[in-house]
Amino acid sequence: MALFPETMPRPEPDMDDAPYWEACARRQLRFQSCGVCGLLRHPPAPICGGCHSTEVTWVTAPAEAEVFSFTVIHHASHAAVADNLPYVVGLVTFPGLPGVKLVTNITDIVPSEVRIGMPLTLWWDDIGDGMYLPRFRPA
């Protein structure tokens, strides 16, 4: 069962982030790396912010991450999340992937117990129609 109900708006891949979502559909968390200077970036973008190259490679993230920052949501910004309150939106980072920060949900924890630096483990949220979203829970 998905974290949020099926009325939750779904990702709408575009030409820049389609490879990211295609990897997620295979339950692989991958991030862009510049094909020239190696600078990592997320969300996906057409050019490197460091050297302006359009060359891209993709690197696979480890399943381990940590809380860089987070907020606890107490008010529903969309009707689909009303039954999930309160829930945690986290900004997570990955060992060995400097510069990459992913906005995601931190689950399976009482929101008041989330802490910056807390180790996390990736899990894949099946939202149907072959789409999976990366979410995290305490390691």
- Site of interaction with Zn ion (CB under 5 A): 34, 36-37, 39, 48, 50-51, 53
In whole angstroms, the minimum distance from the beta carbon of 10 to Zn ion comes to 31
Of 34 and 133, nearer to Zn ion (C-beta) is 34
In the complex, the smallest distance separating the C-beta of residue 57 from Zn ion, rounded to whole angstroms, is 11
- CB 104 within 8 Å of CB 87: no
Contact 104, 94 (CB under 8 A): no
Q: Which phi and psi (to 5°) does residue 23 adopt? A: -65, -40
Give whichever of 45 and 85 is closer to Zn ion, judged by the CB atom. 45
Q: Which is nearer to Zn ion, 2 or 36 (CB)?
A: 36
CB of 99 to Zn ion, least distance (A): 11
Question: How many whole angstroms separate alpha carbon 134 and alpha carbon 131?
Answer: 10
Q: Could you identify the residue written with the tokens 């510069």?
A: 99
